[in-house]
């Protein structure tokens, strides 16, 4: 084999790739992989479902009616079975790739800053909520990577916005919640152009990012309408996704006040971006360092002489809350839970990148460098602790659910008149009074959907009981649909029943085994 032929063998290609890997890429990957595994190992090594996971042990991810036309393909690599370890590793792989691309978008020079950004990316509590829905995690992390890759491609070359538009369309086709990631990173990239490039390059660069977003949205929607037509389906009303078709510029102005209120409410009171005095102090330190570096640039570069500077600052202040809450513009009726708020981690990431890139000069460079490293490291540790508190809570909720359903199943099977296949009417709500709330994590996990401490057990509907008893207790029961339960629910006999574990909480009524788990005074 000649030297030229050997260059194209797997070993040769690998050797050439290894020689081109930048140190900051290695730092980002190693940090994301190590801290990702360290943080999320409890959920990866266990089969701990949340309420949605009970019915998703096998799920084909065909959610085209929710606008997610590529989700089925994205999750198909790991099969459609819930395999936490495999899916988790694939998710961390995509996160590591995202961390590498971020180092290029943010134009980092410092390997330590790259490692810190990888750590922030994989520990933010919004990601822990996503890991709780592990059956769809790998697909969602691919969507995140594609959203970030869209920004990277757009900034690489004159026609890069075309590749960026394709990446953005496929990201939206998996999960629309990562669109704000692309928008915020595009805004930051334009800021870097303003700081470092000439006027012509600024305008052309801004136009490319705008073109990427517009073309990506058109391509996404065009593919969605085509596939809906082929399958004979329409967009669902779930999370207001059908409202996407009625989007208008007028909706921007009518929704703006709500978007601002939600942004500041979640940022200051969401108990996620910071949740204890340590993370708050670290975030404040990082914010202060960013302000100091910006002020130093303001005076050293004499920006006060350029009115354009004040226009940019004003647009950023007004635009960032809107860009962060873009989902509320597309789907105003969406239940805006933590899975959809992952973009908030960009604020610590962008501040870390900004201070790292522009704060190292002069006599203040050393304390500034130590300051942002300390702040980011403290935030990473605090996020890691929060995630593991949440995972511990989810595991205990599963154990409590197991114990509760085991007792309930025994009572059902011991009830007079029970037989295999008997129709069973159950609402799904678990009463609190007979079973005092024992969760102690609510101050930490209150906003973390899928792993929160709002209820001690995983059961919200009758279908939850059915899936849990079938998959974890080995009992196949004939639960009635909510429509069939409706008439029984309002009957005098059901109302007179006690809540479980009361003596009359399980009884036969007209051939239907009624189970009352809630507390009602109707």
**Does 141 reside within a domain?**
yes
pLDDT score, position 140: 97
Contact 216, 143 (CB under 8 A): no
**Does 6 reside within a domain?**
no
- Cα gap 396→453, rounded to integer Å: 10
- Location of structure tokens 């296949």: 421
Residues 397 and 354 in one domain: no
Residues 116 and 188 in one domain: yes
CB neighbours of 331 closer than 8 A, spacing ≥ 6?
176, 239, 240, 241, 243, 244
In terms of Cβ atoms closer than 10 Å to its own Cβ (0-12, 13-18, 19+), residue 358 is: middle
pLDDT score, position 4: 64
pTM: 0.91
pLDDT score, position 242: 52
Read out DSSP for 284-320? HHHHHHHHHHHHHHHHHTTGGG-HHHHHHHHHHHHHH
Residues 294 and 412 in one domain: no
Residues 170 and 277 in one domain: yes
In terms of Cβ atoms closer than 10 Å to its own Cβ (0-12, 13-18, 19+), residue 195 is: middle
**Does 302 reside within a domain?**
yes
Read out DSSP for 363-406? TTHHHHHHHHHHHHHHHHHHHHHHHHHHHHHHHHHHHHHHHHHH
- Location of structure tokens 């928008």: 183
Residues 418 and 345 in one domain: no
User: What's the CA angle centered on 390, arms 263 and 333, to 5 degrees?
Assistant: 35
Q: In Å, what is the CA distance from 26 to each residue of 18, 97, 100, 124, 309? A: 10, 11, 8, 21, 36
**Does 374 reside within a domain?**
no
CA 233 to chain centre: 27
Residues 304 and 429 in one domain: no
**Does 15 reside within a domain?**
no
Rounded to the nearest 5 percent, the helix, strand and coil shares of the chain are: 70, 5, 25
The C-alpha torsion from 283 through 285 and 286 to 290, rounded to 10°, is 140
Residues 408 and 510 in one domain: yes
- Cα gap 467→204, rounded to integer Å: 55
Helix (H, G, I), strand (E, B) or coil at 514: strand
- Cα gap 51→437, rounded to integer Å: 18
Q: In Å, what is the CA distance from 302 to each residue of 200, 299, 306? A: 21, 5, 8
pLDDT tens, the chain, 522 aa long: 666 666 667 777 777 777 778 889 999 999 999 999 999 999 999 888 888 888 888 888 888 888 899 999 999 988 889 999 999 999 999 999 999 999 999 999 899 999 999 999 999 999 999 999 999 999 999 999 999 999 999 998 889 999 999 999 999 999 999 999 999 999 999 988 888 776 667 778 889 999 999 999 999 999 999 999 988 888 876 555 555 555 555 556 677 888 898 899 999 988 899 989 999 999 999 999 999 998 888 888 887 777 777 888 888 888 999 999 988 887 776 778 888 999 999 999 999 999 999 887 656 678 888 999 999 999 999 999 999 999 998 898 899 889 999 999 999 999 998 999 999 998 777 765 556 666 677 677 777 777 776 567 888 888 888 899 999 999 999 998 888 888 888 888 888 888 888 888 899 988 899 999 887 655
- Location of structure tokens 């190992």: 41
Residues 333 and 458 in one domain: no
Packing angle, helices 365-414 and 277-300, rounded to 10 = 150
pLDDT score, position 34: 97
Residues 29 and 140 in one domain: yes
**Does 43 reside within a domain?**
yes
Domain that holds residue 307: 20-47+55-359
pLDDT score, position 129: 92
CA 357 to chain centre: 28
Query: In the numeric block, which tokens belong to residue 240?
Result: 């207001």
**Does 28 reside within a domain?**
yes
* Residue 507 phi, psi dihedral angles, 5° rounding: -155, 160
Residues 338 and 404 in one domain: no
Query: In the numeric block, which tokens belong to residue 141?
Result: 């992390």
pLDDT score, position 492: 86
In terms of Cβ atoms closer than 10 Å to its own Cβ (0-12, 13-18, 19+), residue 381 is: middle
In terms of Cβ atoms closer than 10 Å to its own Cβ (0-12, 13-18, 19+), residue 27 is: buried
- Cα gap 99→120, rounded to integer Å: 10
Across the strands, what pairs with 479? 424
pLDDT score, position 124: 96
In terms of Cβ atoms closer than 10 Å to its own Cβ (0-12, 13-18, 19+), residue 479 is: buried
How many domains is the chain built from? 2
- Cα gap 505→496, rounded to integer Å: 9
**Does 417 reside within a domain?**
yes
The closest alpha carbon to 31, from 87, 98, 127, belongs to: 98
pLDDT score, position 499: 86
CB neighbours of 500 closer than 8 A, spacing ≥ 6?
408, 411, 431, 434, 506, 515, 516, 517
Residues 31 and 136 in one domain: yes
The closest alpha carbon to 391, from 7, 78, 30, 50, belongs to: 50
pLDDT score, position 372: 93
Contact 452, 446 (CB under 8 A): yes
pLDDT score, position 171: 97
- Location of structure tokens 């992952």: 342
- Per-residue exposure over 38-52, b if at least 16 CB sit within 10 Å of its own CB, e if not: ebbebbbeeebbbbb
In terms of Cβ atoms closer than 10 Å to its own Cβ (0-12, 13-18, 19+), residue 386 is: buried
Residues 351 and 408 in one domain: no
């Amino acid at each position: 084999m000649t030297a030229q032929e050997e260059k194209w063998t797997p070993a040769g290609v690998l050797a050439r790739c290894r020689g081109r890997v930048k140190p900051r890429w290695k730092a980002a990957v190693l940090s994301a992989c190590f801290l990702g595994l360290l943080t999320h190992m409890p959920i990866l090594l266990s089969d701990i479902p949340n309420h949605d996971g009970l019915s998703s042990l096998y799920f084909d991810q065909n959610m085209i009616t929710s606008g997610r036309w590529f989700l089925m393909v994205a999750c198909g690599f790991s099969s459609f079975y819930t395999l936490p370890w495999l899916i988790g590793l694939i998710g961390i792989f995509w996160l590591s790739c995202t961390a590498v691309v971020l180092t290029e978008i943010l134009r980092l020079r410092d390997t330590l800053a790259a490692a810190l950004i990888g750590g922030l990316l994989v520990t933010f509590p919004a990601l822990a909520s996503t890991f709780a829905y592990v059956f769809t995690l790998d697909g969602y992390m691919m969507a995140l990577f594609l959203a970030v890759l869209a920004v990277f491609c757009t900034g690489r070359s004159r026609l890069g916005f075309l590749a960026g538009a394709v990446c953005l369309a496929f990201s939206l086709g998996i999960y629309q919640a990562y669109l704000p990631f692309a928008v915020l990173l595009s805004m930051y990239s334009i800021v870097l152009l303003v700081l470092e490039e000439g006027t012509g390059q600024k305008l052309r660069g801004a136009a490319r990012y705008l073109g990427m977003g517009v073309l990506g949205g058109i391509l996404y929607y065009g593919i969605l309408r085509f596939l809906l037509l082929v399958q004979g389906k329409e967009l669902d009303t779930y999370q207001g996704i059908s409202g996407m078709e009625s989007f208008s510029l007028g909706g921007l102005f009518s929704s703006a006040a709500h978007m601002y209120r939600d942004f500041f409410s979640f940022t200051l009171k969401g108990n996620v971006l910071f949740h204890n005095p340590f993370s708050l102090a670290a975030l404040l330190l990082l914010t202060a360092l960013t302000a100091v570096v910006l002020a130093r640039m303001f005076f050293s570069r004499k920006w006060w002489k350029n009115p354009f500077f004040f226009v940019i600052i004003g647009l950023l202040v007004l635009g960032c809350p809107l860009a962060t809450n873009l989902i509320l513009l597309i789907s105003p009726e969406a239940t805006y839970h933590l899975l959809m708020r992952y973009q908030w981690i960009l604020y610590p990431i962008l501040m870390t990148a900004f201070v790292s890139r522009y704060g190292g000069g002069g006599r203040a460079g050393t304390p500034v460098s130590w300051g942002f490293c300390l702040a980011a490291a403290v935030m990473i540790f605090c996020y890691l602790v929060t995630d593991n508190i949440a995972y511990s809570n989810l595991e205990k909720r599963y154990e409590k659910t197991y114990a509760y359903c085991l007792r309930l199943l025994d009572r059902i099977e011991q009830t007079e008149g029970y037989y295999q296949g008997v129709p069973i009417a159950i609402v799904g709500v678990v009463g609190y009074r007979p079973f005092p709330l024992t969760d102690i994590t609510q101050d930490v996990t209150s906003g973390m959907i899928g792993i929160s401490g709002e209820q001690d057990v995983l059961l919200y509907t009758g279908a939850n009981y059915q899936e849990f008893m079938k998959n974890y207790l080995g009992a196949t029961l004939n639960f009635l649909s909510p429509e069939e339960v409706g008439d029984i629910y309002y009957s005098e006999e059901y109302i007179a029943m006690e809540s479980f574990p009361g003596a009359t909480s399980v009884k036969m009524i007209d051939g239907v085994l009624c189970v009352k788990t809630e507390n009602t005074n109707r």
